């Protein structure tokens, strides 16, 4: 195992069922759903690229091969665009990842996020990043870069954290901390997966951005099942707290849970309002709707 300080590897676990988005996800992976004209997975890859990542591991199911293919060369489409519409040629070529930098791993059954990451182990040889593409983050500094910076400084696992309203704590892994180093960095003392309001130790929720030390792979190898009979990443993190420090980091940025319908709609509107090309039209549409003029 390499003891590198620079984080060059990212894991995208994208083998989940996406049940909250059925029936759409029966035939289309939710990671390919677009926010404006860009699929979620492309935002995630872009964030990782801008954060200095060079090795991209996709954990997929047999039905979701298309998610990784999105970054490969599409010769037929390129030929067509070359003769018909060069403007769009650049759009589809600039998102490519060099062949040697893409790694695909199959998770044969959706046994949980922890299991998905464990499936990627043969390509992991040191600390690594994990990005869940359905958590879309718009930020000044790419979200995973923010976590990489904290990792480099403290040399221990860092998890992306955000405050959520108490009526939502049952949808997240919630952390316990009374050791807030700064306003943004905290030592995690415990993690409770999807607690009731009563059992929640705080309203600080784990979001889909992680930079993890290699020891988490060893923890995941124990294949302990947790909530929902799944192998949860949060359980492995919780166990690793006994032997090494795990930090929570309240990152800067606006995050949307695009794994559920309303979260994805909110992200669409936000993205349109912040993009010059769509801003004016989006504002007009919203004003019209608010006046019930439809
Ligand atoms: P989610 O909790 O969003 O689960 O997983 P899901 O299956 O994608 O969606 P729902 O809850 O059924 O609607 C968080 C991330 O972990 C991946 C998912 O693809 C998603 O990116 N995941 C989850 C796996 O890769 N494998 C699993 O077994 C579970």
Domains of the chain (ranges, CATH numbers) = 9-259 (3.90.550.10), 261-294 (no CATH)
Residue 132 CA to residue 7 CA, distance in Å, equals 17
CA of 132 to the centre of ligand 1 (A): 9
**Which atom of ligand 1 is least distant from the CA of 59?**
25
The pTM (predicted TM-score) of the whole model is: 0.94
CA of 13 to the centre of ligand 1 (A): 8
Residue 205 CA to residue 70 CA, distance in Å, equals 31
pLDDT value of residue 273: 98
**Which atom of ligand 1 is least distant from the CA of 112?**
28
CA of 48 to the centre of ligand 1 (A): 19
Tokens of 193: 């997966």
pLDDT exceeds cutoff 70 at 262: yes
Q: What percent of the chain has pLDDT over 70?
A: 96
* Segment 93-117, tens digit of pLDDT: 888 888 899 999 999 999 999 999 9
For residue 94, the Cα-to-chain-centroid distance in whole angstroms is 21
CA of 264 to the centre of ligand 1 (A): 15
Q: How confident is the model at residue 182 (pLDDT cuts 50, 70, 90)?
A: low
* Segment 278-287, tens digit of pLDDT: 999 999 999 9
Residues with CB under 6 Å of ligand 1 are 13-20, 59, 107, 110-113, 115-116, 132, 134, 259
Q: How far apart are the first and last CA of the chain?
A: 61
């Amino acid at each position: 195992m390499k003891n590198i300080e620079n984080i060059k590897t990212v894991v995208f676990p994208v083998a989940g069922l996406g049940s909250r988005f059925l029936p759409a996800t029966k035939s289309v992976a939710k990671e390919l759903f677009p926010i404006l004209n860009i699929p979620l997975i492309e935002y995630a890859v872009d964030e990782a690229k801008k954060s200095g990542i060079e090795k991209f591991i996709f954990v997929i199911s047999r039905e979701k091969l298309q998610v990784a293919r999105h970054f490969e060369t599409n010769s037929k489409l390129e030929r067509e665009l070359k003769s018909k519409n060069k403007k769009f040629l650049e759009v589809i070529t600039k998102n490519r990842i060099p062949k040697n930098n893409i790694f695909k791993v199959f998770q044969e059954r959706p046994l949980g996020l922890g299991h998905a990451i464990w499936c990627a182990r043969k390509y992991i040889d040191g600390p690594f990043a994990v990005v869940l593409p359905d958590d879309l983050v718009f930020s000044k500094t790419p979200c995973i870069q923010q976590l990489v910076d904290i990792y480099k400084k403290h040399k221990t696992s860092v998890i992306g954290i955000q405050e959520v309203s108490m009526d939502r704590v049952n949808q997240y892994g919630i952390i316990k901390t009374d050791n807030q180093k700064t306003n943004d960095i905290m030592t995690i003392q415990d993690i409770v997966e999807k607690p009731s309001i009563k059992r929640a130790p705080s309203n600080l929720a784990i979001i889909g951005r992680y930079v993890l030390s290699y020891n988490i792979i060893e923890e995941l190898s124990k294949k302990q099942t947790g909530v929902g009979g799944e192998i949860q990443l949060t359980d492995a993190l919780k166990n690793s707290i006994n032997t090494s420090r795990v930090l929570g980091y309240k990152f800067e940025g606006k995050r949307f849970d695009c794994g559920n319908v309303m979260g994805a709609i909110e992200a669409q509107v936000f993205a349109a309002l912040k993009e010059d090309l769509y801003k004016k039209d989006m504002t007009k549409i919203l004003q019209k709707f608010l006046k019930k003029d439809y």
